[in-house]
Amino acid sequence: MQNAGLAALGLDWRYVAFDVSPENLREAIAGAKAMKFIGLNLTVPHKLLALDMVDLLDASAHTWGAVNTIRFEAQDARGAWQPLHLLEESPKEIRTHGFNTDADAIARAIREDLDLPLRGARVVLLGAGGAGRAAALKLAETGASELHLVNRTRSKAEELAQEIQQRHAEVDVRVGYPKHAVELLVNATSLGLKSGDALPLDDRAFPLRNVDAVYDMIYRPAETPLLRAAREEGCRVANGLGMLLYQGAKALEIWAGRPAPIAVMRAALEQNVYGE
């Protein structure tokens, strides 16, 4: 996805994967800086650890409490900090700037892949783990009017509901299924990853005919039992591939300072994930 995006932008950069153990993360970031990398993406478990390892946190990383993108920067002749590729001279001092592109990607995937405006939306959210928390906070921030949180371990949903209510008093947050229809149902549990998994939804308590659109954060398999049932019920559906795409596209924009070639990146990602 990233290399296809770089090629489409005409940039002679390469995106490469490195396997780094958590105890070496600080050294790995320092090494990338010494080699004048443009930037880095970080994945689990590095996203939380990196919060204390970057020189500067963007508001996105601060709010979500995790860093998934780093940009290396240095000062230009006027003293303004710039991405390294914009500097003509070799920099004396390089700083690390941490961002988070995951949360925005959730909102964008729902908006664009499901064609659903989030402002005013009533939402049922399944799952209150790491992904569920990020989704709940983003949905509240983006103007969802009602959030109904459902989780196997009810106490975690209750804790999350409290946190959302404190940060976004304007949102009506409840634990459990609503009695009325909603615009959106989001699955942020891991149910559906393995074949034979049960539905993450109790469809006697809350039937899918009560929902317009269903977003499943899982993208492999491409169609989980939940998405299949929702499609058969006539709901608009999308899987989690869009989240992967949009977090990557946003990271590329942070590094390159230009709009990401979304269609090219999506095609490469689909080929990589679902192709032969």
179 is catalytic: no
Written as one letter, the residue type at 35 is: M
The residue (of 26 and 152) whose beta carbon lies closer to ligand ATR is 152
Q: Nearest approach, Cβ of 155 to ligand ATR (angstroms)?
A: 9
Output the DSSP codes for 71-93.
EEEEE-TTS-EEEGGG-SSPPS-
| Distance in Å, CB of 29 to ligand ATR, minimum | 23
Query: Which residue's CB comes closest to ligand ATR?
Result: 129
Q: Do the beta carbons of residue 135 and residue 149 sit within 8 Å?
A: no
Closest CB to ligand ATR among residues 133, 168: 133
Binding site for ligand ATR (CB under 6 A): 127-132, 151-153, 156, 188-191
Nearest to 157 by CA among 188, 180, 112, 183: 188
* Min CB(92)–ligand ATR separation in Å: 40
Nearer to ligand ATR, 74 or 134 (CB): 134
Task: Name the minimum Å distance from CB 169 to ligand ATR.
Answer: 24
CB closer to ligand ATR, 152 vs 258? 152
Report the residue number, 153 or 271, with the smaller CB distance to ligand ATR.
153
- The active-site residue, picked from 47, 92, 156, 179, is 47
CB of 198 to ligand ATR, least distance (A): 7
Residue 267, both tokens = 């095609």
Angle in degrees, CA 274, 202, 240, rounded to 5: 25
Residues carrying an active site annotation: 47
